[in-house]
Structure formats: C-alpha cells, structure tokens
Amino acid sequence: MWIQIIASIVILTILYNLITKFRHNKLSRFTFVAWLLFWLIALVIFWIPEITSYLAAALGIGRGVDLIIYISIVVIFYLIFKIYLYLNKLDSQITKVVRHFAINETKNNHESSQSSDHHS
Amino acid sequence: MSVNSKIYIVIPAWNEAQNIAAVLANLAQYDYQVVVVNDGSVDETAQEVKKFANVYLLSHLINRGMGAALQTGNEFALQQGAEVIVHFDADGQMQAKDIESMILPIFSGEVDITMGSRHMGMKSNLPWLKRYIIQPPAKVINFLFTGMNLTDVHNGFRALNRKAAATIEIKQDGMAHATEILQHVSKYDLRYQEIPVEIIYTDFGQGIMGGFKILRDLIIKK
C-alpha cells in the first residue's frame, strides 16, 4: 500500500510539472501527450499491477513484470539513440560557431591592420 | 603577385608551442601563404605564431579536433582566393621542401588532390611497429570504407585545388577526417595521385588506441 501512495505522489508531481510546462509552451504537443500517457499508464499499473499480466499473457510473455522490463529497455534504448543524435548535432553546431568566430576575427583584424596601413 | 601567393599552407596546431616556430621558420624560406589554425591550445602556441607577422592565425576558442581545424583553414583559404591548399603538420615531421612536388601535378592540371606517401621511394624512417602491425589493418579498413587502394594511409600531407577543397566538406572533427576525405575523393570522382614524401618521426603519433578511436568515429558518426 505504501509503495502505491509514494509512487502516486511522485507521479502526480511529475504530471503537475508536465502540465505547467505544456501551458507555458515549453513542450511540443506530441512530447506532452507521449509523457502524459506514459505516466498515466505507470500510475494505473502501480494500483492495478494485474492488468500487465493479462497483457503479458496475450503477448506470450510469462509475467507482467517481464513485459514492463522489456518495454522499459526498448524505450530507454530509443531515448539514448535520440540523445546520441542530438549530441552529434550539437557537436557539429559548436564546431560551426567556433569556426565562424575564428575566421571572422582574423579577417577583421587583417582588414583593420590593412586600413590603418593606408592611413599612416 | 607571384604564383605562390595563391598557395595556402594550412597548419592545424594544438599545443604545439614546442615545434610550431621551427616549422614556420622553415616555411618562411618559401613564398607561400601560411595559415595556422590554433585549435584551442592551452600553451603558448598562439604567441609563437604571432612572432611571424606574415602568418595568418585563426583561433578556435575551444579544442574541436584536427578535422575541424582543417575545415576552418580550408574555408578561410578559399575565401582569401586560394588556388591550392596544402595540409601540413605543426609537429615538424613533414618537410617544407616536399610541398613543391605535392603541388606540381595540381598546377599542371593533372589531378585535383595529391596525397603524401611514406612508402613510395622509401624516403621515411617509419617505425617497424607502425609499418607491420598498425598499417596493414589500417589499409584494409581504409579500403573497406573508401574502395581506394593506396600505398599509404593517413599521413595528413595533402594538397587540394580549389575544386577539391570546395567539394570536400570535412564533417569529422576528429582524426577520422583522413578517411572521410578519401571517401569524398572516391564519391565525387576527384582525380588523385600519391607523391613520395619524407616524414621524419619525432615520436609515436597516435599510438594503437588512436586507430580504434578512428574506426569508432567512422562507424557511428555520419
């Protein structure tokens, strides 16, 4: 019983945060709905764990807990992949910024030293 | 304006304060335009370069890797109107006198890109571990990724004409850029030639682990 209550408090807090963020336009609709569904399902599973057993049996997996673990692993791998792609993108963007700055700085220095040569 | 004023030597330098002055002094005997890309060095590399008034110094605020530095140098040189761009090392292993034979086939219009080879003409003192243990698998991997069968891999000495430099956009920030450049050469059907060069080894370079890192970058980063 205690675990359900603690989990519910945690999940409700997360949901509250999620909704506030969505209201302030910090999340896309798709991201919001996906996370909302995820946490609502988690909440239901905490209170009625038996439903996972039916699902698991229907899918040919022994126990409900196993089903959850399988799904979790798939979700985690997918998220890691997304983060990996994002980091790669970020990496090349940083390089572009650093490059732009390096080239412009040298060009400006060179031009200003050339124009001061003309004046002297 | 001499012909050499259209030849840009691009030198990526990361913490090369020990060697860069000697390399630049050597290059100063020739008439080339020299561009040093200081790749976020934490030592006195920039100060050493500033002693040479005619050298362009480009500074990466943070270290981005050799591939990133070369691409920065390429873009700058192209914007300055370079006809030929030569990639040269800051560690003093390459010889400035070899630049002429590297750019000759490009000026004559025979090829778009030349690559230095340590094995043609046996000019170098390649350590045996590198020659017999590290290079054979590196060549096989190179062939698998590029379909090109070269006498040497990854020594970083290359010369590109404008077309090649503009076509090849180096996206591999790290050491995998060397293979990436070959991939572009084969993909865009650039005409290439290997030129014997002398490489004088001062230390061991990247070591064995460096090779694995390149392979990892080639597989997972696109």
Give the model confidence (pLDDT) of B27-74 as tens digits: 999 989 999 999 999 999 999 999 999 999 999 999 999 999 999 999
Domain boundaries, chain B: 3-220
Q: Does A107 share its domain with A68? A: yes
Count of CB contacts below 8 A, A vs B?
45
State which of A61-70, B36-45, B138-147 shows the largest mean pLDDT. B36-45
Interface test with B, best of A91, A99, A100 (most B CBs within 10 A): A99
Name which of B62, B68, B76 is nearest A106 (Cβ-Cβ).
B76
CB within 8 Å: B60 and A91:
no
- Rounded to 5 degrees, what angle do the CA atoms A53, A55, A60 make? 90
- Comparing CA positions, the residue from B165, B179, B153 lying closest to residue B8 is B165
| A53 part of a folded domain | no
| A71 part of a folded domain | yes
**Please, which pLDDT band fits residue A119 given cuts at 50, 70 and 90?**
very low
Q: Please give the residue of chain B at the shortest CA–CA distance from A99.
A: B72
Beta-bridged to residue B57, according to DSSP, are B36
Distance from C-alpha of B184 to C-alpha of B128, rounded to nearest angstrom: 30
| A58 part of a folded domain | no
Is B208 exposed, middle or buried (CB count within 10 Å of its CB: 0-12, 13-18, 19+)? exposed
Distance from C-alpha of B26 to C-alpha of B93, rounded to nearest angstrom: 12
Instruction: Quick: pLDDT tens for B105-134.
Output: 999 999 999 999 877 755 555 666 766 777
Q: Does A111 share its domain with A68? A: yes
- Full residue range of the structural domain in which residue A3 is found: 1-46
Report the CATH superfamily, name and number, of domain B3-220.
Spore Coat Polysaccharide Biosynthesis Protein SpsA; Chain A (3.90.550.10)
Provide the strand spans (E) within chain B.
7-13, 33-39, 56-60, 84-87, 113-117, 158-161, 192-196
Q: Quick one: pLDDT at residue A101?
A: 95
Distance from C-alpha of B199 to C-alpha of B94, rounded to nearest angstrom: 5
Sign of CA dihedral B56, B41, B162, B96: positive
Q: Quick one: pLDDT at residue A2?
A: 86
Name which of A92, A95, A102 is nearest B59 (Cβ-Cβ).
A102
Amino acid at A67: L
**What does pTM read for this prediction?**
0.76
Tokens of B180: 């990436």
Q: Does A28 share its domain with A3? A: yes
Q: Please give the residue of chain A at the shortest CA–CA distance from B57.
A: A106
Q: How many domains does chain A have?
A: 2
Residues near B61 by Cβ (< 8 Å), separated by ≥ 6? A98, A101, A102, B40
Coil/strand/helix, residue B171: coil
- Comparing CA positions, the residue from B112, B95, B107 lying closest to residue B155 is B95
Name which of B64, B171, B221 is nearest A98 (Cβ-Cβ).
B64
Chain A CB contacts of B75 under 8 Å are: 99, 103
Q: Does A70 share its domain with A42? A: no
Contact call for residues B152 and B197 (beta carbons, < 8 A): no
Contact call for residues B202 and B100 (beta carbons, < 8 A): no
- Comparing CA positions, the residue from A69, A28, A76 lying closest to residue A52 is A69
| A56 part of a folded domain | no
Report A:86-105 residues touching B (Cβ under 8 A): 88, 91-92, 94-95, 98-99, 101-103, 105
Q: Quick one: pLDDT at residue A120?
A: 37
Nearest-CA distance B58 → chain A (Å): 5
